A and B are shown apart, each in its own frame.
Chain A
């Protein structure tokens, strides 16, 4: 099975860091410990048999009521082998941060800013972690499930 090569290599190399894996609807997925995310991403990018050179997407999901509450989701693509993999790292609300992967893929920069903006998850080591879609004085993080859909906030003009 070509599709599971990634998961096999990952579990061999990082046996202690992989919490679970699945391939629902053919999408290879690995849930990893958040402490090792940068190391795992570097491995996925550089290993000769994997070469995940694209960081396609980075987002988060809020599973309100579960612990840990958030999942940061990475979608990677390997141009060389035409494979995709999804890496997820769980982040709790009390320790709401994860290592930035900007040193691995520069593309992550704006995606991480977006997750910070909309979910309030901080990325340690990010060079410029600011809000991106919303304005600086916006209160709260609107994509969290406990943010009311109808909440209104005053619109504040540009500051510079």
Chain B
């Protein structure tokens, strides 16, 4: 018997998965060294969507960064908007009005719902559950309809501004949200029935891609992937920003950190986010949505067209950009994938000296070799799904 094993032809096979592969959500390449079906080594090659985000930010004004942030995590662009706006406001040292805070919370949570739905839907699809995909894409369309009502765009939504918002909530937004959530909850229940106790789904995701909590921390995991390991770290609870400290919501956690737990955490977070949106809509105070500081947030068009001082402020902020005082800040918000941090350095001019994003899926993707070594090649698909790498954010 040992002789046979010795003579058996077991040469490693090296294959490329990607950069354009149906189950790689972004454009990413895995260089897999296989022993039969077992992964001996895995190298992740990213950068295919690198656009030079930071370099572009440094060549525009502070306000011109917003469209670039939409394209970081393009599944939940409004959270990026909110994160960047809050970071600049921290740098300047201003506080936005109450109503604006509530609306920002609503926008963030709607984006989070859309992001988690996309992730779960695509994850199910790639394991063969096409029906669940259709159900959640229908639900996501309803959420995107709401986002379209807010700002006119569905995908590269751009709504938040430094010191305020592009516009107030449209008429009938609350009623529309109520109707959409009613349908979303029905669809959520359907998907839950289709996946959570689905034998095929469970066999593919359970005990795959798990990691002990301390190791996940060392790898820099945040968001649903860390919470699935049992660590209840959520920026919304740890360092509450906006009005999250007034919202009643729970942070779901898992136990083992495997792909099934990541899926369950995301499913529950969809519910919690819907709950937050409803609370915020109910408690929404009246009042202005923009700060009354014409150097940082331009005034209404009525003022700009009729008053000379407003026109001057408008001209100065558009041509030269707003001018935060020289300094540096780091501000983290809870993105759909984890801690989304902005590190900004200002030299006192109208352009950012440095605009750094801490992309939550970057350290998650970096852990792929650790998660995959010794597993089967088929396990790459569910693990990479539940990591939820977003190319635009990872590669910037």
A152 at the interface (CB under 8 A from B): no
CA distance A84 to B239 in the complex (A): 10
Write the nearest CB–CB distance from B9 to chain A, whole angstroms: 23
Task: From A25, A106, A111, A142, give the contact of B329 (CB < 8 A).
Answer: A25
Work out how many contacts link A and B, with CB atoms closer than 8 A. 86
Q: Once the chains bind, are B343 and A75 in contact (CB under 8 Å)?
A: yes
A43 at the interface (CB under 8 A from B): no
Across the interface, name the chain B residue whose C-beta is closest to A75: B330
CA distance A26 to B332 in the complex (A): 13
Q: Which residues of B contact A39 (CB under 8 A)?
A: none
Q: How many residues does chain A have at the interface if contact means C-beta atoms less than 8 Å apart?
A: 34
Q: Once the chains bind, are B46 and A132 in contact (CB under 8 Å)?
A: yes
Known: A56-B341, A75-B358, A82-B239. A149 touches B330 (CB 8 A): no
B54 at the interface (CB under 8 A from A): yes
Task: From B50, B59, B366, give the contact of A109 (CB < 8 A).
Answer: B366
Q: Which residues of chain A from 28 to 87 have a CB within 8 Å of any chain B CB?
A: 29, 53-57, 59, 61, 73, 75, 79, 82, 84, 86
Known: A57-B341, A86-B330. A110 touches B363 (CB 8 A): yes
Write the nearest CB–CB distance from B52 to chain A, whole angstroms: 6
Task: From B91, B218, B366, give the contact of A110 (CB < 8 A).
Answer: B366
Known: A27-B328, A56-B339. A135 touches B220 (CB 8 A): no
CA distance A111 to B358 in the complex (A): 10
Q: Once the chains bind, are A107 and B366 in contact (CB under 8 Å)?
A: yes
Q: Once the chains bind, are A82 and B47 in contact (CB under 8 Å)?
A: no
Q: Which residues of chain B from 1 to 43 have a CB within 8 Å of any chain A CB?
A: 16, 31
Question: Can you list 11 A-B pairs with a CB-CB distance of less than 8 A?
Answer: A27-B330, A54-B217, A79-B231, A86-B330, A105-B220, A106-B219, A110-B362, A110-B363, A132-B47, A133-B46, A143-B55
